[in-house]
A and B are shown apart, each in its own frame.
Chain A
Amino acid sequence: MTNHAHLRKDSDVLLRVEDLVVEFKVPGNKVVNAVSSVSFDVKEGETLAVVGESGCGKTTLGKALLQIQKPKSGTVRFSDNELTALSKKELREARTSIQMIFQDPISSLDPRMTVRQIVEEPLWIWSKGDENERLEKVKTLLNNVGLDPELVLDRKSYEFSGGQCQRISIARSLALEPNMLICDEPVSALDVSIQAQILNLLNDMKDRYGLTLIFISHDLSVVKAISTRIMVMYLGKVCEIGTTESIYSKPAHHYTAALISSVPVPDPTHKLERTPITGEPPSPVDPPSGCRFRTRCPAATELCATEEPMLREVSDGQFVACHYPRA
């Protein structure tokens, strides 16, 4: 019984992940089930948002895709390469097509290096062009992300604001012209009005470089603005996956509905019709049996405790893992 109903067979699928499992050991001989048998795919040109609250495994998932965090089992097929089976050398090369941007813009940059050195580094690693050609490329990249090369090239990263550091990170990640960009909470640490700037930038870069994006976030408002498809995670499992429009307008999973209706809306006339969700997320060390959301779900029954629901289609392109999805 595979949980692969939602995987697509089209030729333009760029990334296909099947049954990925990532576990950590923690003190006390316990094991954290960070990612438990997650499968999904991403087509060229899509922006897939991976959404969930803390502890759902989304950040671990991002790192596992790049094999920075070694998965326990499962496959990650990127553009004809099976990433889990590559040698160390092959993996290094494969990584140049997938780059990552991180949450903390300041610690994403080496404080001792100048902006020029930071953005040039990927080119240096792979010996692309001579020094002059690299400098030109760096200048182009900085311009693309909205920074004036003359003003920033020789300065160190700690002289810049969070938003500017994030732009530098983005410039760096585009140096090797990757096919896919994984963004791990890239705007969460930024001021509200700067978030908009960076989100617009990411969209612009996506168009300019023909990128496919995976956008990891806990913020449902941000995700609506940037994604075409959304995957909702809870405690290491996929709850629901579908297009952005369908997920927001008709969330089928009770957790998705609760998430959406918990987001504060800047409109005082908006009535908070909150789907009741009680309690705290259980520990990923000892998740509930069957459906992991059942301990907080208003529609849970005995079936939910004994049998884990598989992803099945509820409407065109929308899949939910629930025995009693919302109508």
Chain B
Amino acid sequence: MSSILKLENLKVRFSTHRGQLEAVRGVDLDVQAGTSIGIVGESGSGKTVMSRAAMGLLTGSNVTREGRVTFDGKVLSDMSRDEVRNEFGTGMAMIFQDPMTALNPVRRIGSQLQESLRIRLGMSRKEAKVRSIELLTLVRIPEPKQMLRKFPSQLSGGMRQRIMIAIAISCNPKLLFADEPTTALDVTVQAQILELLTDLRQKLNMTMVLVTHDLGVVAGNTDYVAVMYAGEIVEQAPTAELFANMKMPYTEALFKSIPNIQMKAGSRLPVIEGRLPDPTDRPPGCGFAARCNYAQDKCFSDHPELEKAKDGHLYRCWFPLGESIQRKVS
């Protein structure tokens, strides 16, 4: 198993009129080829910024990126923008939450599909057309030949998402970033798309990074999960291990507060009180301390580092759950 994507101490800062906004604060991640990793977090956790920064998609004069991004042995963070762009399509690809903004509304589906094939893989028009039909069949679109002539506005959300997936995998990328790919879809369509992604991953031997806020989605579709909060990874483990032995109170609180279809009907949900800390003015210590049921004095003053437990389970907490330490429940 080799590492296909490695993030080392990745930091992303935005300069805003309210001061420096630290969106991502030193993230280390090592993604093994052929696996599927889920990045879970709510809005403001930094998960989207991190995935875009890893792909080199974050540009702008007010953005500062630090740290190393290594993809397939190449150090992306040292490469120029043009060189990084060469990796898109054949190396890395991304699918987004809103397929409508990823598809050009005034171009036919066929033309959008074929663009990548002809530019990146140098196919002729005929070859590209044949390959497009193959791709559409792969993403389970009925009547692929007719689909080539259609415009995005004629399609439903689920269809558009499939097209976006088809475009993303058209050049056989090694790594696929999926940024909330099913959040905007109906639940039955969501299930179909997730199953499709798993199927494609196995068929094409792709690695997948699935960014989402939905613990349900990661539970069924990933090998490994990283939980982000306030710009850092606060827990990381193989999926089964994470759900079985949550160590960071945030993960536990998140899990408990989500309405879960397996609960008894009409049960009252425990809530996470309070709000995310202001990203331009983060307090010292643990970012979750103010909202944590188990916080102690140390949590407010000292910032915890990422600790390693057995089985590749990492956590960032002074008083992790499941350990026999005296805890003050406030």
Contacts and interface: CB of A to CB of B under 8 A. Distances in A.
A and B directly contacting (CB within 8 A): yes
Report which residue of B43, B157, B218 has the largest number of chain A beta carbons within 10 angstroms of its beta carbon.
B43
Interface in A239-272: 244-245, 248, 258-260, 262-270, 272
Interface of B: 42-43, 142, 156-159, 186-192, 194-195, 213-220, 239-240, 243, 253-255, 257-263, 265-272, 275
Contact of A193 (B240, B261, B263, B272): B272
Given A53-B187, A259-B188, A265-B216, A221 B269 contact: no
Contacts of A203: 268
26 contacts: A192-B258, A193-B253, A195-B257, A200-B269, A218-B186, A218-B187, A220-B187, A220-B261, A221-B261, A222-B259, A224-B259, A224-B265, A225-B263, A244-B266, A262-B187, A262-B190, A264-B219, A265-B216, A265-B220, A266-B216, A266-B218, A266-B243, A268-B219, A272-B191, A277-B192, A281-B156
Contacts of A259: 187-188
A191 B268 contact: no
A301 interface: no
A265 B259 CA distance: 10
Contacts of B216: 221, 263-266
A199 interface: yes
Contact of B266 (A218, A226, A274): A226
Given A192-B254, A244-B266, A266-B243, A260 B261 contact: yes
Interface residues of A, number: 43
Given A262-B190, A264-B220, A268-B240, A191 B261 contact: no
A199 B269 contact: yes
A313 interface: no
Contact of B188 (A245, A258, A269): A258
Contact of B271 (A200, A220, A258, A274): A200
Given A53-B186, A196-B270, A274-B191, A266 B42 contact: no
A192 B213 contact: yes
A192 B214 contact: yes
A74 to B, nearest CB: 26
Contacts of A272: 191, 220
B112 to A, nearest CB: 20
B137 to A, nearest CB: 15
A221 B216 CA distance: 10
A196 B263 CA distance: 13
A265 B261 contact: yes
A221 B190 contact: no
A218 B186 CA distance: 8
A244 B265 contact: yes
B146 to A, nearest CB: 15
Nearest to B43: A191
A12 B275 CA distance: 41
Contacts of B269: 196, 199-200, 225
Contacts of A262: 187-188, 190-191
A280 interface: yes
A285 to B, nearest CB: 13
A272 B265 CA distance: 20
A222 B265 CA distance: 10
Contacts of A196: 257-259, 269-272
Given A192-B214, A224-B259, A267 B186 contact: no
Contacts of A248: 261, 265
B259 A195 contact: yes
A73 interface: no
Given A224-B261, A266-B260, A280-B156, 15 more contacts: A193-B257, A197-B271, A221-B216, A221-B259, A224-B259, A224-B263, A225-B259, A228-B266, A259-B188, A264-B190, A267-B219, A268-B239, A268-B243, A270-B220, A280-B189
Nearest to A283: B156
Contacts of B260: 221, 265-266
A199 to B, nearest CB: 6
A303 B270 CA distance: 47
A228 B191 CA distance: 26
Nearest to A248: B265
A324 B261 CA distance: 26
Contacts of B253: 193
